[in-house]
Each structure stands twice: as C-alpha cells, then as structure tokens.
Amino acid sequence: MIFIIHAIRACTELLLPAGPFLGVVGIQTMPLAIVLINAEVGSEDELLRELRKLSNVSEAHAVYGVYDILAKVEAETMEELKEVMTSKVRKLKNLRSSLTMMVVEGT
C-alpha cells in the first residue's frame, strides 16, 4: 500500500509541476483529473494514440507497473471534466479499466 501511495505521489509530481495552472498557494485552479488506465493486452500503443487525440488530455504516458497508461485530463469546469471522463475517455476502444483521481480544487 505504501508503494502505491509513493507511486501516485511521484506521478502527480511529474504531471503537476509548478506552472501557470497553479494558484498563488500552489493549489490548482482548473479542474483536473489524473487517470490510471489498463488497456486490453497488446493494444496499449493504439489506446495511447487515441487518448492523446482528445483535446482535454494534456498529457498521456505509457508506464510500467500495475497500470499501462497515466493521463492528465483538464477542463474549464468540473461538470465538463466529468462529462469528458464519462463520454470520451471511458468509452475509448481497448480501455479495459481505469482509476480516476479528481484533483481537489482550491478555495
């Protein structure tokens, strides 16, 4: 379990460097989700290409380990982010399973 926590922390540090989408106190202000994806066996490259075509996917990387792909999905509103996840990302061909972590919005 500790390994998973460290892996998630490392992934979010990789995908959430300090930048323009971070608020003054280091809290992101744009709705954002980190998505861990498992692809059907042998279709990882194809799924990664399709995922990268989606306009709301700002980053997507093939990874080794429990999951095959790590993606950063952004939207203007939380409602739009939920819609993108349910109607676009989760419906991609060859996506076997996913774990979506919605990043907590700052106040």
67 is a domain residue: yes
Q: Is residue 67's pLDDT more than 90? A: yes
pLDDT for 75: 95
Judge whether 107 lies within some domain. Answer: no
pTM over 0.85: no
Burial class (CB in 10 A: 0-12, 13-18, 19+), 62: middle
Tokens 């709705």, located at residue: 31
Burial of residue 51, with CB atoms counted within 10 A of its CB: 0-12 exposed, 13-18 middle, 19 or more buried: buried
pLDDT band for 8, please (50, 70, 90 cuts): low
Is residue 53 one of the residues assigned to a domain? yes
- Tokens 């980190």 belong to 34
35-47 b/e with 16+ CB inside 10 Å = b? bbbbbeeeebeeb
Domains in the chain: how many in total? 1
What is the domain extent for residue 53? 2-102
Q: What is the CATH number of the domain that holds 58?
A: 3.30.70.920
